[in-house]
Structure formats: structure tokens, C-alpha cells
Amino acid sequence: MRYQIVKEPMAILDIQLDKGESITVEVGAMVYMKGDIEVKTKTREGGGFFGKLKVSMLGGESFFVNNYIAKGGGCSTGLTGAPIGDIIKVEIGPENGLIVQSGSYVASSSDILLDTQWQGFTKGLFGSELFMLKANGQGDLYLNTFGAIVQKDLQKDERILIDNHHIVALRENANYNARKFGGLKSTLLGEEGLVTEIIGPGSIYFQTKNIKTFVDYLGIKEMIQRNSRD
């Protein structure tokens, strides 16, 4: 299986499949499909019925995924996600799992499992509205971000403070904890809310744009509130 990321920053992920190869894709991510590809829709692997339901209701992902299976050679498919920004590939290994912002998931190798049984998913990240998925297994994970994507590799005991709405993913071997940004006045007036302190070693991926800030900038939040009062 080969891949190419084209047309950044409005990125599309182009996956080329040889006969017999397959990829798991978020429902609604397909832009185009070329060649003899069989599409099988199924519920997500792992977590049982209620675990899969939680992925859909809380994680911002579909209850179903599509398996794209190449029945012949020269097959390809174009994939994208909802955020307007970069698409990246991240490698997952047995000792190298990833904690992922739920809305960033586009596709993954067939051996990647999205875990719904840990606290960051069942309760939201540190009690916030931000739900995360834990990706384990062996293979590649493709993520779509809002804006550009930045990777920082933290050394042992190196620390970084990230606004929760900018977090895309972090390696599960990194230590992390959440706290409020500044005092009560900063939280109420500065609109920063919760931030996450991440302590190395481990890699952190964050996006340059904040979807919550963007929505507020467009006035969508106020419009919804006005309509709800009418």
C-alpha cells in the first residue's frame, strides 16, 4: 500500500492499493475511487456494542467504518476529513500507541484498533468536551487537522503547555495532566479554559488553528443562541 498527500493545505489523501490490500476508512471520507475496489461497511472493531456506540455519540466518529479491499491491481481512493487543513500519516507500533483527537481520524491500516475503554474517551479529555481515542496495534494512522500540523518531540522531563482545542495527538507514553489556564478571571474573560501540560519523553502533535475560536469568530455560536430563544 502506498500513499500521497496532495493539495495541502486543503489536503486529500490518495491511497494506492495492490490486489488484496485493504484500508479502514471513516464513513463519508471518500472523495473518489478508481479500479476494482470492494467496499464493506461494518461496525468498528473492539469495545463491544456499547463501546462502538460511544465512539459515534461521544467521539465524533461514525458508528460504522468502511473497509476498502482491492480486488485487482492499480486501485486508488481519495480520502479527506471535515477539518480544513493538513493530513498526516503517523506510524503506530506495539509499544508506540497514540492518543488522538476523535474528530481528526480519517483512515487507518486494518490492524489499528481504536480503544473506547479508557478515561479520556468515556469521560472526555480531563472532564472537558474534547473526546480522544486511543489507537493501538501495528500500522499507519491518517489524521486531518484544522490548519497546519506541528510535531514536537519532547525529551525526558521536557514540558509543554497546550490549549486543549489545539491538541491533535500525543504518544501514550508521554505523561500529561490538565489544569485551568491562569486564575478564575483569566478563565472567564480570557476564554482559555483548560490546558494540558505534557511531559516527555514523547511526541505531541498540535494544530495551528482552533475550531472553537473560529466558530465564535463567525458568530455561529451567537446565531444558534438567538434562534434557540426565538
Give percent above pLDDT 70 in the chain: 73
Separation of CA 124 from chain center: 14
Q: What is the pLDDT of residues 108-118, one digit of tens each?
A: 998 898 775 55
Instruction: Output Rg (C-alpha) for the chain, integer angstroms.
Output: 18
Residue 124's pLDDT is what?
A: 52
Q: Pick the most confident of 15-19, 81-85, 128-132, 171-175.
A: 15-19
Q: Is the pLDDT of residue 69 over 90?
A: yes
Residue 70's pLDDT is what?
A: 97
Residue 165's pLDDT is what?
A: 83
Residue 144's pLDDT is what?
A: 93
Q: Can you read off the three cell numbers belonging to residue 38?
A: 470492494
Least confident of 40-54, 65-79, 167-181: 40-54
**Domains of the chain with bracketed CATH:** 2-229 (3.60.160.10)
Residue 142's pLDDT is what?
A: 96
Which residues does 25 contact at the CB level (< 8 Å), separation at least 6? 65, 66, 67, 68, 77, 79, 106, 107
